[in-house]
Structure 1
């Protein structure tokens, strides 16, 4: 669990810095995060999971993404710059701008 939380924080921090999708490969799946934000507008965060995911892991991931409400996730049928791949799921949520700013201020 700790490894997952650290990974989510690292990925969120990286995508907040450059807006690109950042991923981490685990044994049976790949986890990716990407932030989309415009000045003065909402900050959206997309989570994508590709591969074989152990039971209940998707819920665990979505509940632990920093700066996002656990109940605010919506399934997506595409990512910002591409369609979903086979065996890939994607979710999106609004990210709290204060949490995003705090993560950007932290050195990783």
Structure 2
């Protein structure tokens, strides 16, 4: 149950990173030629059911097809987390909260 709470918490932080001032979830992509979408952090959340892993990829300056994520976190869901998993959770939580706070200053 504890892992589920942590996963739900990370999911909520990921959505908050994508939130605009109206409370809606922004589509974000970086297009260097055309400013079609707001630049800003873009978060990908994926459940890999075949290996029971939650994957979070963070693009700090917006998603672009030709670039890799700035940060990538993987969390196993089929076992209790090790100390390393907890350290990665805390690192991911800190980064997501920093991005949320950074955006508050820009909105």
What band does the TM-score fall into relative to the shorter chain? Answer: under 0.3
TM-score by length of 2: 0.28
Relative to its length, the structure with more helix (as a share) is 2
